[in-house]
Structure 1
Amino acid sequence: MIVWVIAGLLGLATGLRIGWALVNKQSLVSTAMILALGSLGVVAALNWEPLTLLIDTMLRWPNISMGLSQVALIACAAGSAVMITTVASSRTPATAKKLAFIQYGVAAVIAAVSLGIFLAAEQQPEMSPEEYLRRNLSGGGNMLPWLLPLLYVLVALSLVAAAGLRHSNRTRRGRALFVFTIGIVLIVLALAFFLLRAVGTSGLVGVGAAATLLGCAMLIVAAGSLLPSLEDWVGARRELRTIAPLLEELGRRHPDVGIGVRPRGPLVFRVAERMSLISDALFLEATAADGALRPVDSAGAEVMDLDDLVERAELEAPDVAPSEQARAVAAWIWDGREKFPGLAWLRQPARYSDREWILEIARQYRELSTGFSAGD
């Protein structure tokens, strides 16, 4: 049951990466993540004894699932290495792609040699994965098929762990990379125990303890891979609640702004689409309010052109805190177009992006209209 929980979480993480790659442009990083997570999920699934027995029976080769586990582990290491080296590299995309193909090529050769050695070795009676490891990863067992893949995976994942720890930070993606890297570190430790046992140092740790550590490492890797999607979903839900009152009011005033097909992609895309509607409606509101304050000629045309408006807005930029500036804009919308503060007040502060500025205005408007703060 625990094995299938691990495999299921890794499968879910793989599916999310595949979905993200289908929605966005395919990249080396997304492909490498899909390969790494999918391969690790295969390793977990192949250690479920009923599936192990089924595959061995179907392929008519005792313990062949262990050989396939080696190949899947090599693929996981190759995908992880390509992912982290591509993220950490400052090289051009063409060069990064060539390096990725080289890494995949090396991994494919090692996987083919490892599987060939496994098939060439003497067949053994059918046994569980744990029993197979206990018998073969010892001085008197058939450890030759395991040395090459274990050494490659240890070297590749050690590089991944070092680079992952170096590039971890407090951002949303940085936290996920840190959790993912912790899982990789535990995988390296578990495989190091297996390698020590294979070369004859069997007293340090048992196969069962190393297998348990490997299972925990897989859970942590899955958690690190799912963390960005979970945080994106929770954050998007919170932002939707924040912008809902302002969006409803501006949508009532400017129903034509919302005409069109709503996106059906990830929740973060829908949040971005609704923020763009708010931005358009705020522009229409500000244009109408500013036009009412400016003189017109005999034909009713506005005297000032757009360049004049931009210049005036820059000269009259408010010298207040961003929250106070957003509060003034929100109060203007809440009061029903009365007391227009001026175009300059709608320009976001220097340290705010367009998205952050709209979210701040929506947060202030929600407090005015509902009496609840954005965090409630």
Structure 2
Amino acid sequence: MIAMVLAPLMWVAVLTRAWRWWWSRGWVLGCITVALGVVAVHLSLNIPAAERLLQTVAPMPNFSTGLRMVLFNLIAASTGALTLAVTIDPARLARGVRILVVIAVAGSVVALAIFVGTPPVPQAAGGFEFDQAYSHLPGYAEAGIAGALFPALLCPALMVMAARPADLRTVTGWSLALLSAGLAAATVWAWIRLVYFVAVRYGGAAPMPAVFEVTRAVSAAGVLVIFVGMMLSPMVSWVRARRVLRAIGPMHDELVGRWPGVRRPSRRGSSADEKASDRVTELLDALSLEIEQAGGSDGSVAEQREVAAAVADWLISGHRCAALNGESVRSAALAAGLDRRWAVTLAQAYRTRQREVVA
């Protein structure tokens, strides 16, 4: 049930991230896209209809379970690449990613080779049922060890790497904290499986199918937390950008309509945040031209909100007051600190003046 809900969300996230990456080619976006893509494939395999479809073309019974062992390694490697992308020097990133990929591929080849080389057993209803019924058998236990070893060793290190720079006063810090929590769940999942397979195969322990109830719950929690961690920053950025675009919309239309030469088309594939920055730049450039055309000598420097009200009054009623001068506008912009904050302040004053005129 969880897979049927999460898998479509994952694929939507993969497509949107892939579109953004195609136009930006950034490491972080690329790592997020690959990590989400591998998890999406894994979740899709947990949907009964998708698993049955795969088994109809698979070369052997339970091949989907062997494929999951490959995906475990790829999930660990792609999450590791993402962690490196946001925590280390870009000059060292490519080398670190190559090492992770080589180890993941080696572990995947070993796990799949052992799995395929083991005498087949009857087709299980799914990967969970296979683990409960057959994973303790010779060959399959070794494949399980090979599939869990790399995640078990890598995830604890990644958890620490993600947790260290996590500053909970920022959205990025929360994303790293959630990623670290998800990696903690992945660590627990990998070590439970690894210890179990070693115990039943070489320690003489009796098979305990209930172990996989625990690992299933832990993995579901880990996947959900990692997904939220990966998508938190872009979603918050999107919401903030949309709020800015809505806030400055009427004033932007008015000013840029007067000065169409300031238009700067956003590059194809740009994010909502980049588009908001472009619109803010257009608004402020047009405002500079409008103030210059309004003329008049610079007067005394006015307070920020007084300047914003003067700009709004000029644009709507054509009334020019002392606060409407280049020095005051520049001082107010510096006081705001951020172009986006200053643009929103101007836009709020513009909306307020519009409502007063209508009333």
Residue 121 of structure 1, CA deviation: 1.8
Report the TM-score when normalising by structure 1: 0.80
Report the TM-score when normalising by structure 2: 0.84
Which letter does structure 2 place at the counterpart of 1:39?
A: V
Aligned: 1:344 with 2:327: yes
**In terms of mean alpha carbon deviation, does 279-288 or 161-170 score higher?**
161-170
Aligned: 1:270 with 2:253: no
Change (3 A) 1:96 1:213: closer
Aligned counterpart, 1:103 = 100
More helix by share: 2
Aligned counterpart, 2:338 = 353
Change (3 A) 1:205 1:337: farther
- Structure 1, residues 210-241: CA drift from partner, whole Å, max 9, x if none? 21331232223223333333323322222122
- Structure 1, residues 305-342: CA drift from partner, whole Å, max 9, x if none? xxxxxxxx9xx766x5x555545544554552501422
Change (3 A) 1:317 1:82: farther
Aligned: 1:226 with 2:247: no
Aligned mates of 1:123, 1:39 — CA distance in 2: 26
1:283-362 alignment, distance < 5 Å: 283-289=288-294, 291-293=295-297, 320=303, 322-323=304-305, 326-327=308-309, 329-334=311-316, 336-341=318-323, 342-347=325-330, 348-349=333-334, 352-362=337-347
Residue 283 of structure 1, CA deviation: 0.8
Aligned counterpart, 1:79 = 78
Q: Is the 8 A contact 1:84 1:164 kept in 2?
A: yes
Aligned mates of 1:220, 1:4 — CA distance in 2: 17
Residue 242 of structure 1, CA deviation: 1.1
Residue 22 of structure 1, CA deviation: 1.6
Aligned counterpart, 1:186 = 185
- Structure 1, residues 166-194: CA drift from partner, whole Å, max 9, x if none? 22233233323333332332232233332
Q: Tell me the secondary structure at the aligned position of residue 61 of structure 1.
A: coil
Aligned counterpart, 1:240 = 245
2:287 to 274, 282, 285: 282
Aligned counterpart, 2:220 = 215
1:163-174 alignment, distance < 5 Å: 163-169=161-167, 170-174=169-173
Change (3 A) 1:20 1:263: closer
Aligned counterpart, 2:8 = 8
Change (3 A) 1:196 1:240: same
Note the residue ranges of structure 2 that are not aligned, 5 or more in a row: 200-204
Aligned mates of 2:154, 2:335 — CA distance in 1: 43
1:22-61 alignment, distance < 5 Å: 22-24=22-24, 26-61=25-60
Q: Tell me the secondary structure at the aligned position of residue 148 of structure 1.
A: helix
- Structure 1, residues 245-299: CA drift from partner, whole Å, max 9, x if none? 32233245x153466767664433432332222112101111123x3338xxxxx
Change (3 A) 1:21 1:260: closer
1:129-140 alignment, distance < 5 Å: 129-138=127-136
Q: Tell me the secondary structure at the aligned position of residue 119 of structure 2.
A: coil
Which letter does structure 2 place at the counterpart of 1:368?
A: R
**In terms of mean alpha carbon deviation, does 349-358 or 339-348 score higher?**
349-358
Q: Is the 8 A contact 2:76 2:154 kept in 1?
A: yes
Aligned mates of 1:177, 1:193 — CA distance in 2: 24
Change (3 A) 1:80 1:261: closer
Change (3 A) 1:189 1:317: farther
Which letter does structure 2 place at the counterpart of 1:8?
A: P
Aligned-residue Cα RMSD (Å) equals 2.9
Aligned: 1:256 with 2:260: yes
Aligned counterpart, 1:152 = 150
Note the residue ranges of structure 1 that are not aligned, 5 or more in a row: 295-312, 372-376
How many residues are treated as equivalent by the alignment? 344
Change (3 A) 1:236 1:4: same
Aligned counterpart, 1:305 = none
Q: Tell me the secondary structure at the aligned position of residue 293 of structure 1.
A: coil
